[in-house]
Chain A
Amino acid sequence: MDILLISECFLIVALIVFLIATLRIITYKSTSMGLIGTSSFTLALTLLLITVGTIFNIGFFKDIALALLLLGIVGTIAYAAVMRRA
């Protein structure tokens, strides 16, 4: 088994654990913690998509990941700006 594949699998396991932790963060009471958890969830999902796409050579995973990363972060910043003004 290739060492790169093993490390990618290790990263996938770490990302799944992190996804569960971000779900726990999202369930906290305040709105800010929901935003923080959502942005972290977006990053973890992007990384997971790219890793899986690299392992199985699926090209469009990269496009989905790029859209998810950009829209997720920009949306979170926009909602934070609205929340600050409100």
Chain B
Amino acid sequence: MMFGIDPGIINMIQSILLVISALLILIAVVGVLRIDRNLDNVVYARIHILGIVDIAGIIAFLALGQPLFALIYLFLAPLLAHALANAYFHSEDTLNNPVLNPNLEETSDEEEDEDETDLVDEVLLEDNLDMSDDSSIDENLDEKSEDDGND
């Protein structure tokens, strides 16, 4: 009897946790192997999928009666995933990192310039519209003044 609980129930809980962790591991295997490698940012996706295995490992450690391993891995797994993603971004990620791919910055600058020119054109068009309105108002005023003069 552990903590007043029947050992059979504890064995059952351990078995359920181990089966859950095994299923999570198998699901992660299918996900990692079946994901399309031509996708953008697929490395980050793989790191994300392997996070499931981290949690499955922690559950399995706890079910096998090793809380020290579970605690250590609980603290180290996020550090590991972040370090891997950070290393990939700064060394190999030519899709997102403008330092590794200068064309990325140029294209983004060009897009910003295009946006600015569009804004300027829109403002000019509005000004022209306003000016046309003003001229029509002026014409109306002139007509009124002429009418007043005639009177």
Contact = CB atoms under 8 A, between A and B. Distances in A.
Given A30-B92, A81-B83, A47 B33 contact: no
B91 A84 contact: yes
A31 B73 contact: no
B88 A11 contact: no
Contacts of B29: 14, 17-18, 21
Contact of B11 (A4, A18, A25, A46): A4
Contacts, number: 128
Contacts of A15: 22, 25
A10 B32 CA distance: 20
Interface in A27-48: 30-33, 35-36, 39-40, 43-44, 46-47
B26 interface: yes
A2 B15 CA distance: 10
A2 B10 CA distance: 13
Given A21-B29, A50-B69, A7 B15 contact: yes
The residue among A6, A17, A70, A84 with the most chain B CB atoms within 10 A of its own CB is A84
Given A21-B32, A46-B57, 17 more contacts: A6-B15, A7-B14, A8-B18, A15-B25, A21-B33, A31-B92, A32-B92, A36-B84, A39-B84, A43-B54, A54-B65, A70-B72, A73-B76, A77-B76, A77-B79, A80-B84, A84-B83
